[in-house]
Amino acid sequence: MERIYFDNAATTSLDPVVLEAMLPYMTEKFGNPSSIYSYGRESRLGIENARKSVAKILNAHPGEIFFTSGGTEASNTAINAAIRDLGCKHIISSPIEHHATLHSVEHLHHQGVTLSFVKLLPDGHVDLENLRELLAGSKERSLVTLMHANNEIGNLLDIQAVGTLCKEFDAIFHSDTVQTVGHYPFDLRNTPVHFITGAGHKFHGPKGVGILYINENVKITPFIQGGSQERNMRAGTENLYGIIGFAKALELATAHHEEHSKHINDLRMYMAEQLQQHIPGVTFNGDLYGRSLYTVLNASFPKTEKSEMILFNLDINGICASGGSACTSGANAGSHVIRAITSNPNQIAVRFSFSKYNTKAEVDTVIAKLKELI
């Protein structure tokens, strides 16, 4: 059976060109980057070149880029450091953050840190007026942690506006940019943000490697204790071939951004149009026709016996999609994001997310199957 993969917001396939760049570091260039002999120096050079490449693409300084095991570790590091090292006593977040953020802030809240959730507008966007009120009303320094693009509904945050607000109130700003690094051009020199995160597997790089950007004006202590790797910021032998793969994938994504983003967005809008045409009662979650991530389409189907089994039946037919966030797939709790933006229990939400490898023919196949299934 031909499989159709429409869950690229969960993870993407590894680009063969990225694998090619990684292979020498899995075989002959295997030295420990901390070793001072030739094998080690060769590995160290690979890591530092990767760092320079990532920094250049994001318009940051190489000294601001730290390699991690992924987005979760990067967000945990930033959030904990803001409380421990930067004097933040109040966290402002939103109810639709990824669990890497939500669980971190809730954990700190249980330890006595004040936690506020910003209100959401009906379309799922953050209410910036309410954010201003929360910042203005805080007696103590705040950490604002808001994601750049929501992984389930695709809404895009105005990162510039939030950063400017944080500056006004001397707040620390962390943005989970896992869904947007590798998909959008960043200019960190001119973005008022203290921390951002990235994960290689969201843009055809390897799993298990990410980045944490720490603005050069911010001084924090390590989250993971041990050796002096990553300039004393992140202990543990570096994921050498993962780092090489991350940089290569980011280079490729940046070089082809224009054509790939247009192709992917055209597919997304085509699928939205086909769903409306062929599936009665379908609606879309988030701000589909406004400020949203071009890779994600979140559709709600009227709840029936048939639609309740929709993900299972799509899977049987070789079609991969998810019910909101991939990180809670298999659990019956449903999506905390969908619950936060709609109280309609008679809807079944499905997230379709696309990559450069998807085609219009695949969309047509999925629509035909959905007509049968619903």
Query: What is the per-residue pLDDT across 2-59, written as a single tens digit (0 to 9) for each?
Result: 899 999 999 999 999 999 999 999 999 999 999 999 999 999 999 999 999 999 999 9
pLDDT at 288 over 60: yes
- Per cent of the chain over pLDDT 90 is 93
Quote the pLDDT of residue 328: 43
CA separation, residue 330 to residues 3, 54, 133, 312, 324 (Å): 20, 35, 38, 10, 11
245 CB-contact burial (10 Å; exposed 0-12 / middle 13-18 / buried 19+): buried
Quote the pLDDT of residue 323: 84
Mean of pLDDT over the chain:
95
Return the bridge partners of 292, or none: 155
Distance CA 199, CA 181 (A): 8
Q: CATH class for domain 16-255?
A: alpha beta
Helices (H) and strands (E) in the chain, counts: 13, 12
Query: What is the per-residue pLDDT across 293-305, written as a single tens digit (0 to 9) for each?
Result: 999 999 999 998 8
For range 235-243, the mean pLDDT: 98
Quote the pLDDT of residue 299: 97
Where in the chain is CATH 3.40.640.10?
Answer: 16-255
Quote the pLDDT of residue 326: 43
Quote the pLDDT of residue 365: 97
Where in the chain is CATH 3.90.1150.10?
Answer: 4-12+257-373
Quote the pLDDT of residue 333: 64
CA separation, residue 269 to residues 13, 185, 188 (Å): 22, 21, 30
CATH classification of 4-12+257-373, choosing from 3.30.1490.100, 3.90.1150.10, 3.40.50.11540, 2.60.20.30? 3.90.1150.10
Quote the pLDDT of residue 329: 46
Catalytic site residues? 327
For range 175-200, the mean pLDDT: 98
pLDDT at 351 over 70: yes
Confidence of residue 290 (pLDDT cuts 50, 70, 90): very high
Quote the pLDDT of residue 55: 98
Quote the pLDDT of residue 334: 78
Could you tell me the pTM of the whole model? Answer: 0.96
Query: What is the per-residue pLDDT across 110-162, written as a single tens digit (0 to 9) for each?
Result: 999 999 999 999 999 999 999 999 999 999 999 999 999 999 999 999 999 99
The residue among 264, 198, 151 whose CA lies nearest residue 50 is 198
109 in Cβ contact with 87 (< 8 Å): no
- Per cent of the chain over pLDDT 70 is 97
Query: What is the per-residue pLDDT across 69-93, written as a single tens digit (0 to 9) for each?
Result: 999 999 999 999 999 999 999 999 9
199 in Cβ contact with 71 (< 8 Å): yes
Query: What is the per-residue pLDDT across 311-347, written as a single tens digit (0 to 9) for each?
Result: 999 999 999 999 854 444 444 567 999 999 987 888 8
